[in-house]
Amino acid sequence: MSARPAAVRSAPLDVARVRADFPILATQVHGHPLVYLDSAASAQRPWAVIRAVDDYETHAHANVHRGVHALSQAATAAFEGARERVRRFINAASVREVIFTRGTTEGINLVAQAYARPRFRPGDEILISALEHHANIVPWQMVCEQTGCTLKVAPINRRGELEYEEYLRLLSPRTRLVGIAHVSNALGTVLPLARLIEAAHAHGAVVLVDGAQAIPHAQVDVRALQADFYTFSAHKVYGPTGIGVLYGREALLEAMPPWQGGGDMILTVSFEKTTFNELPYKFEAGTPNISGAVGLAAALDYVEGLGLEAIAAHEAQLLRLATAELAALPGIELIGTAAHKAAVLSFTLQGVHAHDLGTILDAEGVAVRTGHHCAMPVMTFFGVPATARASFACYNSESDVAALLAALKRAREVFG
């Protein structure tokens, strides 16, 4: 993955110890130990995150930025400390480039409404890929409606890889923005971001990267990637829901108008004229998700403690094992067989709807996601209504893969 090598080469994961960090993994489901293979939808939280949020709520909560009293200052320090933690994690140049959002979806909508909408005109083009999550499709369709600009889609091949030559062909001086996933949530494909960004920049387009599925698996360096915008959600990287990050290059953010008005994003307000706050507060109207930011910071500490390299190597091993085992099962079709993949295995079982399959697996305690994975165009491309998707995280083990396999064999018996 296009990523910064971890500063320290990390030791292999001790999965038993990692699992002990996640209390929910002790849950029984339908009388079976939980086998959680749905981390691409939302990862579970380690004690470190649960306790950091609990500690904040118990000892430090007040509203941020506006108070002189001790608790407000403690909350502000925790919140702004979390911003600095994110800055270091993604290697942004400044905390002014780190905007807290509700998640990836809001990050993309912010760029769509505050960057694209005021600038784009009929004749301008936005280029995305055919493997995007709806969150990286619909906001651009809305901008096209609003401005008269045009959405272009770079195709994928049957392995689920972006057709690079087609992508290059679709880039032109009309391309104002490229919106691209770092890792596909439905297929697991890792995109060759450095090449894609370089080509987009050569045509003068800015690039927004949807990093929702990359952030738990690689140490992302937004400056090395030369991303203009990079967005992700905390809950995919072992943090809380309802909080995420939009990174934007300072010069771009500086030139953008605010997208929501309210408290915190202003310097002065009168009925005649309002002046806006500096970055990043200009884009953070209203009381933010303070405990969420604290939890996110704890989550980033946690993954760096394990080592991103070690996590990625462990997940790659599980993905290899699961891919080989499932490919050998009669009736299973793997959807998404890109040469470069991360932590996601989508598949169908012949003659069985994915939801029925998911229900059988659930009865065995195995949690996988079934459906279109908010990527309906991907399902259409592969000619399936839905897939089952197993996704791997630092706490999964080879016995989870074995449990998946056993449950799939059981499903094949049930459906004859």
Q: Which two tokens stand for residue 111?
A: 């760029």
Applying CB under 6 A, which of residues 2, 44, 105, 189 lies at the interface with ligand PLP? 105
Applying CB under 6 A, which of residues 189, 213, 277, 370 lies at the interface with ligand PLP? 213
- Cβ count within 10 A of residue 289: 20
Q: Which candidate in 144, 149, 374, 394 is catalytic? A: 374
Judged by CB, which is closer to ligand PLP: 109, or 219?
109
Q: Interface with ligand PLP by CB under 6 A: which range of 76-84, 170-178, 206-214, 297-305?
A: 206-214
Q: Which two tokens stand for residue 196?
A: 């894609």
Q: Does 341 bind ligand PLP (CB under 6 A)?
A: no
Q: Does 133 bind ligand PLP (CB under 6 A)?
A: yes
**Residues touching ligand PLP, count (CB under 6 A):** 13
Return the residues of window 268-307 that contact ligand PLP according to CB under 6 A: none
Q: Which two tokens stand for residue 197?
A: 């960004």
As measured in angstroms, the least distance from the Cβ of 90 to ligand PLP is: 16
As measured in angstroms, the least distance from the Cβ of 69 to ligand PLP is: 33
In angstroms, the first-to-last Cα distance of the chain is 40
Task: Answer yes or no: are the C-beta atoms of 247 and 227 closer than 8 Å.
Answer: yes
> Could you give the 3-state DSSP secondary structure of residue 3?
coil
Q: Read out DSSP for 254-298?
A: HHSPPSS-STTSEEEE-SS-EEEPPTTGGG--SS--HHHHHHHHH
As measured in angstroms, the least distance from the Cβ of 296 to ligand PLP is: 12
Which residues, in sequence order, are bridge partners of residue 352?
Answer: 349
Applying CB under 6 A, which of residues 21, 124, 210, 315 lies at the interface with ligand PLP? 210
Applying CB under 6 A, which of residues 135, 170, 245, 253 lies at the interface with ligand PLP? 135
Q: Does 129 bind ligand PLP (CB under 6 A)?
A: no
Task: Answer yes or no: are the C-beta atoms of 377 and 369 closer than 8 Å.
Answer: no
The Cα–Cα gap between 41 and 220 comes to 20
The Cα–Cα gap between 96 and 248 comes to 9
The Cα–Cα gap between 376 and 385 comes to 8
374 is catalytic: yes
Applying CB under 6 A, which of residues 128, 200, 212, 411 lies at the interface with ligand PLP? 212
Judged by CB, which is closer to ligand PLP: 133, or 314?
133
Among candidates 102, 149, 147, 98, which has minimal Cα distance to 123? Answer: 149
Q: Does 233 bind ligand PLP (CB under 6 A)?
A: yes
As measured in angstroms, the least distance from the Cβ of 320 to ligand PLP is: 22
Judged by CB, which is closer to ligand PLP: 108, or 308?
108
Q: Does 185 bind ligand PLP (CB under 6 A)?
A: yes
CA 107 to chain centre: 11
Judged by CB, which is closer to ligand PLP: 233, or 387?
233
Task: Answer yes or no: are the C-beta atoms of 214 and 40 closer than 8 Å.
Answer: no
Which residues, in sequence order, are bridge partners of residue 248?
Answer: 229
Q: Interface with ligand PLP by CB under 6 A: which range of 10-18, 129-137, 282-290, 408-416?
A: 129-137
Q: Does 103 bind ligand PLP (CB under 6 A)?
A: yes
* Residue that is written with structure tokens 């994975």 in the block: 373
> Could you give the 3-state DSSP secondary structure of residue 104?
helix
Judged by CB, which is closer to ligand PLP: 212, or 299?
212
Q: Which residues bind ligand PLP (CB under 6 A)?
A: 103-105, 133, 135-136, 181, 185, 210, 212-213, 233, 374
**Residues designated catalytic:** 374
